A and B are shown apart, each in its own frame.
Chain A
Amino acid sequence: MNSSFLTQYGSEITTLTIEHLWLTGAAMLFATAIAVPGGICLTRSPRWAKLVIGVANVLQTIPSLALFGFLLPLPWLGDRAARIAILALTAYALLPILRNTYAGIRGIDSSVIEVARALGLTDRQRLFKVELPLAAPFILAGLRTATVTCIGIATIAAAVGAGGLGELIFRGVASVDNRLVLAGAIPAALLALAADAALGLLERRLKVPA
């Protein structure tokens, strides 16, 4: 990649990277807002856990290109490609966050939960003072997996015209220009690595020594 290439495409790469981040970021916000409370609810009624996590699991197995395609003809959603992309990415991000929230809380030493109840902490206090802080590293690990996956899948969103770094990759493939493919792939990979490292760092800081 020489400098003239960068001058030509530099600003486009920047714009598309920001777009990529926005798609992923919005999806992660939605997914977290759904899956963390969802996972907490499941710990309260574990008999639903298998079913709900099963559904999230099935969502995960739908090939991303197909999911984008399915959503395309839907009213309102189909009007703006970004909506499709965010919805699909949210669906993919649900499982790791849901599963880790559920497992993180269920995995807390049962004597700790028992004492929290027996000493008269309210359900709310137990959740916010005990369960969430102790499950935080697991929830974060779920968020981290989801984020890295979403950054990757978001490149496919360009197929339905949602933009992002996939745009360059698809254009590069169509015009047999490897430089364009790399101009999309390298920033996408760097984003994934950066997100992984940053969330990993946070996860370690939240870990409670045993």
Chain B
Amino acid sequence: MSAAIEFRDLYFAVPQGRLLLDDISLALEEGTTTAVLGRSGSGKTTLLRTMNRMVEPSGGAVLLHGKDVRDADLISLRRNMGYVIQETGLFPHFTVERNVAVVLEAEGRPREERVRRSRELLDAVGLSSEAFAHRYPHQLSGGQRQRVGLARALAAEPEFLLMDEPFGALDPLTRAEMQDMLRGLLDGMMKTVLLVTHDLDEALYLGHRIVLLSDGKLIANLTPEEFLVSHQPEVAAYVQAFHRGSQRAVSPSRVEEGRG
């Protein structure tokens, strides 16, 4: 069986010559969530964007079920990939309902179907369709907007879901709520998900596999359990920083200082 997504010897060079992706080879199994972890500038967003051809790699290939994405029709390729980004990119002049159904609208599906699907998804992402369908994006909070963005990405029942730091701009509580909601939602679907994040916690919670990129190179491709105990220096550094972060949050010395 071929992998749902395969990156093969993938290169991406910026005009100045620097490699944003440096010989990436990676296969993702169907129906799994892969979290791509890395610092800013590590190439993780570029990797995600080669999938829906928002960028064209300088070398190598991206294969979906063994077929090169360059041979696919660009529009149907993209409609088969939900896309969620940190800034949400909701259409400010569309109601929530129309935003969610925009791909169905682009496909020319009938209105009743669009309304029905839109409401179904709003409820699924935890927004009461009754209350939210006719609102506009500017009337929503950040978390609500992100939920609409997710509903929109799922509306046309795409096989793939691409998420680029979807919860990066949310406060920690809302973020955790969104992660719970997403995990519950994905459990019931057979989607192949690529989730770009810089947050190890999120990667551990949502990913079946964690891929670490650094300076455009693939450093590790591990399960969350393997990731936590890996002795690879870059992986260990990431895990250490993560542990330090959570310890620092309850550091007794700061508590003392605060009292003093």
Instruction: Show the binding face of A for B, using Cβ within 8 Å.
Output: 109, 111-122, 125, 129-130, 133-134, 208-210
Interface residue? B54 (CB, 8 A): yes
**Contact residue among A114, A121, A134 (Cβ-Cβ distance under 8 Å from B93):** A134
Interface-facing stretch out of B82-90, B111-119, B215-223, B233-241: B82-90
Min CB distance B90 to A, Å, is 7
Residue of A nearest to B99 (CB): A115
Residue of A nearest to B85 (CB): A111
Interface residue? B77 (CB, 8 A): yes
Distance A130 CA – B93 CA, assembled complex (angstroms): 8
Residue of A nearest to B84 (CB): A115
Distance A208 CA – B188 CA, assembled complex (angstroms): 37
For A119, list chain B residues within 8 Å (CB): 78-79, 83, 102-103, 106, 152-153
Distance A129 CA – B107 CA, assembled complex (angstroms): 13
Query: What are the nearest 10 A-B pairs in CB distance?
Result: A115-B89, A120-B78, A120-B79, A111-B87, A111-B89, A118-B83, A208-B93, A120-B75, A112-B89, A208-B92
Q: Contact at A209–B138, with CB atoms within 8 Å?
A: yes
> What would 19 A/B residue contacts be, using CB atoms closer than 8 Å?
A111-B89, A112-B91, A113-B89, A114-B85, A115-B85, A117-B78, A118-B54, A118-B162, A119-B78, A119-B102, A119-B103, A119-B106, A120-B80, A129-B91, A129-B106, A134-B93, A209-B92, A210-B92, A210-B138
Q: Contact at B106–A117, with CB atoms within 8 Å?
A: no
Distance A210 CA – B138 CA, assembled complex (angstroms): 6
Q: Contact at A109–B89, with CB atoms within 8 Å?
A: yes
Which of B76, B106, B152 has the most CB atoms of chain A within a 10 A radius of its CB? B106
Further contacts, 16 of them, CB under 8 A, given A112-B92, A121-B106, A133-B93: A109-B87, A109-B89, A114-B54, A116-B89, A116-B91, A118-B162, A119-B83, A119-B106, A120-B79, A120-B103, A122-B106, A125-B106, A129-B102, A129-B105, A208-B92, A209-B136
- B111-148 interface mask toward A, CB cutoff 8 Å, 1 = contact, 0 = none? 00000000000000000000000001010000000000
Distance A116 CA – B75 CA, assembled complex (angstroms): 11
Q: Contact at A111–B88, with CB atoms within 8 Å?
A: yes
- B20-56 interface mask toward A, CB cutoff 8 Å, 1 = contact, 0 = none? 0000000000000000000000000000000010100
Min CB distance A107 to B, Å, is 13
Min CB distance B204 to A, Å, is 27
Residue of A nearest to B155 (CB): A119
For A120, list chain B residues within 8 Å (CB): 74-80, 103, 106
For A134, list chain B residues within 8 Å (CB): 92-93
Distance A50 CA – B108 CA, assembled complex (angstroms): 38
Q: Contact at A114–B138, with CB atoms within 8 Å?
A: no
**Contact residue among A114, A122, A209, A210 (Cβ-Cβ distance under 8 Å from B75):** A122
Distance A153 CA – B84 CA, assembled complex (angstroms): 50
Distance A117 CA – B46 CA, assembled complex (angstroms): 16
For B74, list chain A residues within 8 Å (CB): 120
For A121, list chain B residues within 8 Å (CB): 102, 106
Min CB distance A210 to B, Å, is 6
For A125, list chain B residues within 8 Å (CB): 106
Known: A120-B77, A120-B78, A122-B106. A115 touches B93 (CB 8 A): no
Distance A130 CA – B81 CA, assembled complex (angstroms): 20
Which of A113, A118, A125 has the most CB atoms of chain B within a 10 A radius of its CB? A118
For B105, list chain A residues within 8 Å (CB): 129
Known: A111-B89, A210-B92. A117 touches B54 (CB 8 A): yes
Min CB distance A123 to B, Å, is 10
Distance A109 CA – B138 CA, assembled complex (angstroms): 14
Distance A114 CA – B76 CA, assembled complex (angstroms): 16
Min CB distance A23 to B, Å, is 35
For B93, list chain A residues within 8 Å (CB): 133-134, 208
For A133, list chain B residues within 8 Å (CB): 93
For B136, list chain A residues within 8 Å (CB): 209
Min CB distance B76 to A, Å, is 7
Residues 218-251 (chain B) with a chain A CB within 8 angstroms: none
Residue of A nearest to B73 (CB): A120
Residue of B nearest to A125 (CB): B106
Residue of A nearest to B93 (CB): A208
For A114, list chain B residues within 8 Å (CB): 54, 85, 89
